[in-house]
Structure 1
Amino acid sequence: MTRLTRRALGAIFFAAAFMSSSAFAAEPLKELKIGYQKTGLPVVARQQKVIEKAIAPATVKWVEFTAGPPLVEALNVGSIDVGWVGDAPPIFGQSAGSAIVYVAALASNGAGEAVFVKPESAIQSLADLKGKKVGVGKGTSAHNLLIAALEKAKLGFDEITPVYLSPADAAAAFASDKIDAWAVWDPFFAIAETRYKPRVLALSSEVLNVKTYFIANRDFAAAQPAAVTTTVTALGEAAKWANANKDKVAEALHEVTGVPLDAQILAANRSVFSVEPITPEIIAHQQETADRFAKLKLIPNAIKISDAVWTAPTN
């Protein structure tokens, strides 16, 4: 895939915003509701207030979620307008008929998402997970990592016992040994590292070629295209700042989320910050993930990812 420079990417989004605002007489935006999680680029953007500055005089309301699936549901019902999720949540949402669209691709969780066990565990490899209980959020990016990692180890998903838990509940289950392994993303993975020094069985960066996504409520994107493209451009500015100020990113994440600084330092140091257009290659990789879930009958309907990719209007 040919990577666009930040300047070129910004020009594309700004041009789209200009054309959208001039061609469509949308009602003036009064408030933008953004869903975010405890780490990642949107948190940096919130701390830097780049979106607030970009869409003024409209205001911004930030709504925190513990995982992607409830964020997607909030988008579906219009409780929020845009939000950031991993690769799997929009697939589950689209399959269930959620009114969501892909707006931009952000960097993957990469080295910040893993399947791991406690250091004293007898489990030494993915193959040893056969018959074991693995905590994971259903429909999350970690769910996809777990499935793909097991495939790589020649172990069927039906050969383990998935225990579907929110990150907070999984953390408690992991602490009390009610699950044998845990698949999760930062900062929860980083928190576990600081507490347990776990044995990592698989990292997302070793198994998958995926992105995370900035997505929007379909009706909101249609009614407020300029707000969507302006927000994405502002995220690009936050990414530029984050990559140039890695030493300050952890403090920014800690300030917004309250997650312990040592865990956010771990998360920040292995993070990559980027904003990219949704390309055919990105769509193809996301389609592979959707097909994987459909094959295992984990989603109600097979889907075509390209049907949910939003394009800013140009005339």
Structure 2
Amino acid sequence: MHDSTLEDISTREQLLARVAWLYYERDLTQAEIGARLGLSRITVNRLLKEARQSGIVEIRIRPISTDLPLVEALLQRYPLQDAWLVPAMDQTGEELAQSLAQMAAMVLAQRLQEGWTVGIGVSRTISYIPDFLVLEKPLACRFVTLMGGLYFRPVEVTHNFDVLTRLAVLTGGEAYYLPLPTFVSEPATRDHLLADPLIQRSLDVARQANVAIFSVGTVDQSALLYQVGLLGEEDLNELRVYQAVGDVLGYFFDRRGQLVPAGIHQRLLGISLSDLQRIPLKMLAAGGQPKRPAVKAALSSGLVDVLVTDTATAHWLCDAEEV
């Protein structure tokens, strides 16, 4: 579990410091800050007042904002609208996943609007978001899966059906499911399932998403898709031949952010990459050393608008060689 002070610093105070830094140090107007962070001008004004009252803004912004130049470096290096960082603090595994989910939940809460549709990926990190999402009022949003799920789950992973239901309850909204595994055994099976009108109905809702939230997977035996039996050794070997480094929603990319020509994509159930590209706001929440190549590939693919990661991964992304 986290120290409560670290949790406070990684969420609300980071938001206050970010708004204050953009206003006082970068000389952005309140309207410009609102457009960048997905906030109304009135909300920006309120956050600036709160930053002053809380002592974050004095003569200078408190040292909590020292990572903000790192955010700017990420925005210059990659085609991102914004990035949010959590302290590395030697966090790994479940602890890091919870920190990333907490930050992603805060960013989502700040941007979420009445009646929006939110597409959700399948991952350990994303499964924690309902634990941290806090809204000022119900927004009657729709939550929908962007891909098939897990036909069984390790005990430490929340099923995507549970995640959608909890998010719908939290927002006073609705949940739409794709009751299928991420991968099936044969391309013909996939084609047959995708022709079903009920399945197309769920996918059509996903295609209408205003925001998509997802993580990345690795290409090894630690990958969630491998651990639940949706990827086998033969699949991993083929992906390694193509030098894949990770996946976004079951689509595998090489280190340059190019989709690899693996046969597994012909067995994937979910929205297409072109569908994903058309979603207005795409948020990636991922970090930790094992996932760094996959995060970089996702950023290089152009499929990410907002990145939530840890500071150590952010430094690595900025220092990584161009390909």
TM-score, length basis structure 2: 0.31
| Greater strand proportion | 1
Report 1 or 2 for greater relative contact order, CA contacts < 8 Å, sequence distance ≥ 6: 1
TM-score (normalizing by structure 1): 0.32
